[in-house]
Structure 1
Amino acid sequence: MLSRSLLCLALTSVSMPLLADTVWLKNGDRLTGKITVFDGGKLLLHTDYAGDINVDWKQVKTLESDQKLLVTQDKHNEIAKALKPAEDGKVILANGEPPKTVDLSSIQLIMSPKPLITDFVWKGNVDLALDFQRAQNNTDDYNIAFKTTARHGDWRHNAKGEYSRETTDNSTVNTNNWSAEYSADRFLTDKWFWEGRLTYKRDYVEDLARQRVVGTGPGYQFWDDQLGAFSLGSLINRTDYEFSNGSKQNFYSAALKWDYNRFLIGKKVEFFTNGELGKPLSGAADYSLDSEVGLRYKVTDWASLNLKAEKNIISGASDGDLNKTRYTAGFGVAW
């Protein structure tokens, strides 16, 4: 009797398929994998055999999933415990109550609800841009930048850095600078956090040779999910300037910083912008702005092309203003 039970259990285990989401297409094809997100008319399906696949939503006949998914329908959010296949152009939302059948055309968004972060989560990117011009005046220009975030429980650690250099064939250095920043966020609630930050910048060409900033203050995380994140923070900073002629300047300032990114077209394209706008509490300078905006186009699961514009302004400094704009295009990796 025991042997028969074990045999039945073994046969049942072998015959049961591995749990996977299924997408039926109007042309009769069937795709299996894991539904990652639906947004902007594209359904992103992660597969073991072909990586991430972007499926045109208009070509989807119906779909099935046993994972819990957040579904936005007619601007109303609903967490479905499962999705069940239905007739052409429809899907069944199973919520533990009488299931309901809805039109696929009425759905604007599908994604996994954000879980409570208890384990270590690490993400980031490295962008590299190169420009070698060979003409009457040769120019070598390159830029490398990284940004990474690690989250565990109520703590989030952020680090970023950048190095830029531009030289001409007569050994003239037009740009040579680097910067590094570290900040730690302690979440007080799901949205509110308190931030502490250290920043250092070194420029070997401009009059403003060194910048050191220590700041702290509250921030608010509007959202952070598979489609992107947006946060605002306010800081009280202690800033130290050191100029190339040896003079120094220090002051306190209030600043507003932002960090925004949004994935589009089935996470194929990413729009991002971040920066800080500061106002000294004394007459040291009028204002300062350090910002960037750009796009990344995903080529593979980990590689992307990027286009960025950076703006750095310090207005009203006693030993000279700073106003720099930089445009870069290159490639990068993300994790």
Structure 2
Amino acid sequence: MSRSLPLSLLSLSLALLSSTAVADTVWLKNGDRLTGTIKFYDGNKLLLQTDYGGAIALDWKKIATLESEQALLIKQDDFNGERAKSLQAAEPGKVTLANGDVPKTVELSEIAQIIKPKPLVEDFTWKGNVDLALDYKRAESDTDDYDVDVKTQARHGWWRHNAQAEYNRELKDDVVSTDNWSAEYALDRFLTEQWFWQGRFEYKRDRIEELERQRTLGTGPGYQFWDNELGAFSIATLANRSDYVYSNGEQDRFYALSVKWDYNRYLIGKAVELFSVGEVGKPLEGVADYTLDAEVGLRYKVTDWASLNMKAEKDIVSGAEGELDETRYSLGFGVGW
């Protein structure tokens, strides 16, 4: 009896702990109740992470009310919102925001987004993706096309590291028609929650076009419009020093001003991602009229880490001796983290 009592108390304690484990709850209008962890809501689908069914996307119009013990940012639009320490269930069609002594009950129809608040300074985050596209055509004219694109970003404290690399190669009847690669590294130092200062270095190498090499070193201010579970958008205005090397041995060196952008947005319960990155520049001397290097595309998530992607890329150097105007379209497979 003396040994069974402590064992009984231990079992009771474990049962109490397991019963009080924190879990978010969603009540549906049909009477069903689901438990898990609320990841985000983007105006169409509420993503609930469960241990019995993985990530479940719930139609917002089918939800009666919900509750959560985690701190969440409740937004009525892109600019207005408030941080709630927790959510409490209310009458159907409403939810109560617990934030201080006076809880606030709002209509579910008035909520545009629910996301996790992102602190100004994070210890460390790392995200990125690798996109691979292969195209083999065997007909009267054989074509082999390879495209590899790598993008990664790491954040530590006030610093953010951005790296990109891309390789393109195309053969037509065993003759190389496209063969180029590029790499870029940019370092951001945040001054406030939105403003940052960027320094970057970029190198491009083309073995086919007349413009063989491009080297760019730049620095300037940038602004982060948003960066959360649903995507990110930032721009940077840079003063650059560029060096062009042509296949005939001639060189151009000049200064230029440019605007870079980096945009991505998750749609349909984070199943689809719309993205665009690029840079448009204007030389301060008469070496070229303008330059453009941009891409836009879509990714469809097949699993948590795998995706199908399609994108269009545009590369223009207008008015230079080795004038360049290339457009590439690709469809492929990618992995992300």
Range class of TM-score, shorter chain: over 0.9
Q: Is 1:63 paired with 2:66?
A: yes
**Residue of structure 1 in register with 2:331 after alignment:** 329
Contact 1:289 1:313 in 2 (8 A): yes
Q: Is 1:155 paired with 2:138?
A: no
SS of residue paired to 1:218:
strand
**Residue of structure 2 in register with 1:85 after alignment:** 89
Q: Alpha-carbon deviations, 1:275-307, whole Å to 9, x = none?
A: 111111111111111111111111111111111
SS of residue paired to 2:123:
coil
Alignment-mate amino acid for residue 131 of structure 1: D
Seen in structure 2, the aligned counterparts of structure 1 residues 186 and 15 have a Cα distance that, compared at 3 Å, is closer
Superposition deviation, residue 11 in structure 1: 5.3
Q: How many residues align?
A: 332
Q: Is 1:116 paired with 2:123?
A: no
Matches within 5 A, 1:113-152: 113-152=117-156
- Name stretches of at least 5 consecutive residues in structure 1 with no aligned partner: none
Seen in structure 2, the aligned counterparts of structure 1 residues 265 and 242 have a Cα distance that, compared at 3 Å, is same
What CA distance in whole angstroms lies between the structure 2 residues aligned with 1:15 and 1:310? 52
Alignment-mate amino acid for residue 206 of structure 1: E
**Residue of structure 2 in register with 1:28 after alignment:** 31
Seen in structure 2, the aligned counterparts of structure 1 residues 49 and 8 have a Cα distance that, compared at 3 Å, is closer
Q: Alpha-carbon deviations, 1:74-99, whole Å to 9, x = none?
A: 77412111111223222222112232
**Residue of structure 2 in register with 1:287 after alignment:** 290
1:173 to 176, 194, 208: 176
**Residue of structure 2 in register with 1:98 after alignment:** 102
Alignment-mate amino acid for residue 314 of structure 1: V
After superposition, the CA RMSD in angstroms is 2.0
Matches within 5 A, 1:179-258: 179-258=182-261
Q: Name the TM-score, length of structure 2 as normaliser.
A: 0.93
Q: Which moved more, 1:237-246 or 1:148-157?
A: 237-246
SS of residue paired to 1:18:
coil
Seen in structure 2, the aligned counterparts of structure 1 residues 129 and 99 have a Cα distance that, compared at 3 Å, is same
Alignment-mate amino acid for residue 44 of structure 1: L
Superposition deviation, residue 201 in structure 1: 0.6
* Identity, % of aligned positions: 64
- Name stretches of at least 5 consecutive residues in structure 2 with no aligned partner: 1-5
Seen in structure 2, the aligned counterparts of structure 1 residues 68 and 259 have a Cα distance that, compared at 3 Å, is same
Contact 2:246 2:322 in 1 (8 A): no
Q: Which moved more, 1:60-69 or 1:145-154?
A: 60-69
What CA distance in whole angstroms lies between the structure 1 residues aligned with 2:325 and 2:82? 48
SS of residue paired to 1:119:
strand
**Residue of structure 1 in register with 2:3 after alignment:** none
What CA distance in whole angstroms lies between the structure 1 residues aligned with 2:304 and 2:292? 34
**Runs of at least 4 residues off by over 6 Å:** none
Superposition deviation, residue 324 in structure 1: 0.5
1:261 to 256, 260, 264: 264
SS of residue paired to 2:263:
strand
Seen in structure 2, the aligned counterparts of structure 1 residues 286 and 109 have a Cα distance that, compared at 3 Å, is same
Q: Alpha-carbon deviations, 1:168-225, whole Å to 9, x = none?
A: 23x2111111100001111111111111111111111111111111111111111111
**Residue of structure 2 in register with 1:299 after alignment:** 302
